[in-house]
Each structure stands twice: as C-alpha cells, then as structure tokens.
Structure 1
Amino acid sequence: MSPLFFSSHSHSNGFQLGCGHGLPGIFACLKGAAVIHFQDFNAEVLECLTIPNVNANCLKKSQNLATDVADQAELRFFAGDWSEVHQILPHIVTNGKDTNYSPGPDQSAGYDIIFMAETVYSISALPSLYKLIKKCMSRPHGVIYMAAKKHYFGVGGGSRRFLSVVEKDGVMAASPITEVADGSSNVREVLKLSYK
C-alpha cells in the first residue's frame, strides 16, 4: 500500500528509520496510518527534534474530525543502533534467523511501509541497515521508500552502494520513483523496494 493511499480507516503501520525531523512519518500519520514508529540513533535527536515536530504536526486538530490525529494513531519513538534496535521494536518478523523470512501463523508481522531518507551514506552501516529492514518489513506486501543521494562523496556510501547489497541478497527488487538533479549538487533519487 502506498503511503499516498492511507485511508482514515487504515490499519497500515509505518516505520521511519533514521528519522531526524520525521517528515515522512508525519505525512503517513496525517494520511491515516494506524501505527507510525520513528527511529534514530540518537535519543537527543528524538527528544529535541522529532518529538516536537511530530507534536506540532500530528497533535493539531484534524480539519475533518473532532479528535486529534494522534489519538487515532500509535506514535512511538525508538533510539538505538541499527544492529540492535530490533530488540525493542514491537513489529518484528520473528523466525529465529537474522536474515531470512519463513512464513508463520502471523502473516501480519512487520511494518507495512518503511521510510528512509539520507540513511545510506556510511558503507560500513549498510549491512546492518539491510538486516534491520528485513527484520522489520512485513512480507510479502511490505514496501520501502528510500530517498538518498546516488553517491555520498567523501564517505563512499549512497543509493547505488545500498542497491548492490540488496541485489547481492537477491530477495528484494528496487524500482525508481523519481530522480532529482538540479545541476549544482549530487543527484538524488527516490526508490521503492519490495520483496520479489
């Protein structure tokens, strides 16, 4: 389900990795997601930036409803490293293995939509990020929306590097949504990833 098509009665859940300001998660909340969880490495980012921004945008009275938007959605915040944060997340695909999925009785485990923006800049963090995504993404219909630079000069990461990790594993496919090239800075792209 695309985040653009959340309905006011949606039971979809979303997860924003490396959330910073939390804009994609806020958008999903305003569009009717039942659950939005925000994750960042630093608790201070969540406390000083994400939570105030979520409160300013999601706690406003909805124009069409008599209740707060946040009263209808579960909003939670998690701080931690990508290699460990799965231990405290409530929507995890569990099968006893870190990288593989095996269908079980609870097919709804995991997040329906994962949002990422500017999270793939560090080459050394890409394997941990990808493992976390596989632990968190519902299967078979979960999707990831990733916005990133193709290359992060000076640190070596980028969307192309991340896609090479995804392609090597062979269980997900990526499709381009848009590319932003203003001629004065690095090319950015938005990609959608899903299970094959």
Structure 2
Amino acid sequence: MAKSSGNRTARGRSDLATPKGEGPLKCCESSLELVNVLKNEIRDGLLTFRSKWVLELGCRYGLPGIFSCLKGASTVHFQDPSAGIIRCRTIPNVLANLEQTRDNQSHQQGSPLAPSWQQLSQDIHFYAGEWDELHTVLSVIQEDEGRLFLGMRCPIKACLRPPYGVMYLTAKKNYIGSSSAVRQLRALVDEEGAFGVHLVAEPPEREIWKFFSK
C-alpha cells in the first residue's frame, strides 16, 4: 500500500503492498483478513474473478478491490463515503499496487508490454458518496429505495444475480452497527428466498459472511 505522500511500502501477508506504521496497518487488518478469505475461496475452487464485475463498498485503501484486479476482474468500482479517503488513500494505493505489479512483470518477462500486464488493464472507477446515491454506479437502483440499508437493497440484489453473483461482508463482532447490518442482510436473504448465506471465517474481533445466489 502506498500513500500519496510517497511513504515507503512493505509487503503484507496477501502479497499486496501495505503501508509502514501501526496506524495504517491497523486500518488494513479487516481488509487483509478478507483478502486471505478470498485467496482460500479461489484455492478451493469456490470463487473466480475472471471477467467479473466487482464493487468494493467502504474501500479505504482498496485492498480487496486491488486483489480482484490482480486476479482478472474486468471492471472494479471502489466506493467510500469520504471523498478525502478516495482521493488521498484509495486512488494512490490502487495505482501504486497496479504499477508495482506491472513493473515486476516487466522485469520478469523483459518487456513493458508483456501479455500478462495487458490482462491487468481493467476498467477501474472511483466513487465517493453514500449508499443511497449508488445509482450513479449501478443504474439498476430505483430512486424510491430509501436510505442506508434500504438504499443498498438493489445493489445487493444486482450483485447477487445468478448464477455466479456473490457478496462478502466483514462485520466487527459485538459492534451494534455491523451486527445490525448482518441481521438486516440475513432478513433480506430470508425475504427474497433466492439467496444463501453462511459464515466463512471468524478472525479475531470479526466475522466474514458470504452471501450468494442459489
């Protein structure tokens, strides 16, 4: 991970560049835990990003979205409520990671236009705003859907379209906001009847849930 100030970077467990310093690394813990879950899902044949569209909500440094880029996603949207986060953290870090990958592959293969780098040229978008404004990212959202969670219903349903739609949610344990979000999402699953959900990992202090189309 790289910040716009040009801080030096170090490699994390996920092979993504992560910032030095306790503060930034602490902010990345949940993202790194999610990336590790995604790696395990790919390893077990339960997930692929090849030619997929990806939306990362509340992205901060964008590590899961970057990981999906490196694994072949065709389009990746990075969203955060804060324009400052998008401008100062997300965009510099996404560009730095992809640039570093390109440079590494160029050195390994001896050509700046190696085919493997061309495959990393995704359609990448950055968006700052609240859930109920996501119609600017996903045109399927209806204007009367309401705010916050209600505003997320249509993007959730769009992301979970069969046959391969899937959503991963990282929620902090014993934190009423996240716990409430999990309960509401599970209620949506029960209401729709077309989705499934299960807990895929329980790292310290967090839960990682997987929602999928049946």
* TM-score normalized by the length of structure 2: 0.62
Match of 1:63 in 2: 104
What aligned pairs does 1:75-154 form with structure 2 within 5 A after superposition?
Answer: 75-86=124-135, 88-89=136-137, 92-93=139-140, 125-153=148-176
Match of residue 54, structure 2, among 14, 24, 27: 14
Counterpart residue identity of residue 21, structure 1: Y
Q: Does 1:191 align with 2:209?
A: yes
CA distance 1:180–1:23, shift in 2 (3 Å): same
| CA shift digits 1:15-59 (9 cap, x unpaired) | 101111111001111122121111111222110111011011112
Equivalent pair of 1:41/1:79 in contact (CA under 8 Å): yes
**DSSP-derived class of the 2:154 partner:** helix
* TM-score normalized by the length of structure 1: 0.67
Counterpart residue identity of residue 192, structure 1: K
CA distance 1:93–1:138, shift in 2 (3 Å): farther
Offset of residue 131 of structure 1? 3.1
| CA shift digits 1:33-92 (9 cap, x unpaired) | 121111111222110111011011112225345345786111111122211222x22x54
In the aligned structure 2, how far is the partner of 1:162 from the partner of 1:98?
19
Q: Which runs of structure 1 show a deviation greater than 6 angstroms over 4 or more consecutive aligned residues? A: 96-99
Q: Does 1:48 align with 2:97?
A: no
Q: Across the two proteins, how many residue pairs are aligned to each other?
A: 161
Query: Unpaired segments of 5 or more residues in structure 2?
Result: 1-37, 107-111
Query: Unpaired segments of 5 or more residues in structure 1?
Result: 100-123, 182-186
**DSSP-derived class of the 2:180 partner:** coil
Higher RCO by CA contacts (8 Å cutoff, separation 6 or greater) = 1
Offset of residue 139 of structure 1? 3.1
Structure 1 range deviating more: 74-83 or 167-176: 167-176
Offset of residue 6 of structure 1? 4.4
Alignment RMSD, CA only?
3.2
**Percent identity (aligned):** 34
Match of residue 157, structure 1, among 180, 190, 204: 180
CA distance 1:166–1:97, shift in 2 (3 Å): farther
Counterpart residue identity of residue 56, structure 1: A
Equivalent pair of 1:59/1:70 in contact (CA under 8 Å): no
Equivalent pair of 1:145/1:190 in contact (CA under 8 Å): yes
Which one has the largest radius of gyration? 2
Match of residue 37, structure 1, among 59, 77, 88: 77
Q: Which has the higher helix share?
A: 2
Offset of residue 98 of structure 1? 7.4
In the aligned structure 1, how far is the partner of 2:78 from the partner of 2:84?
13
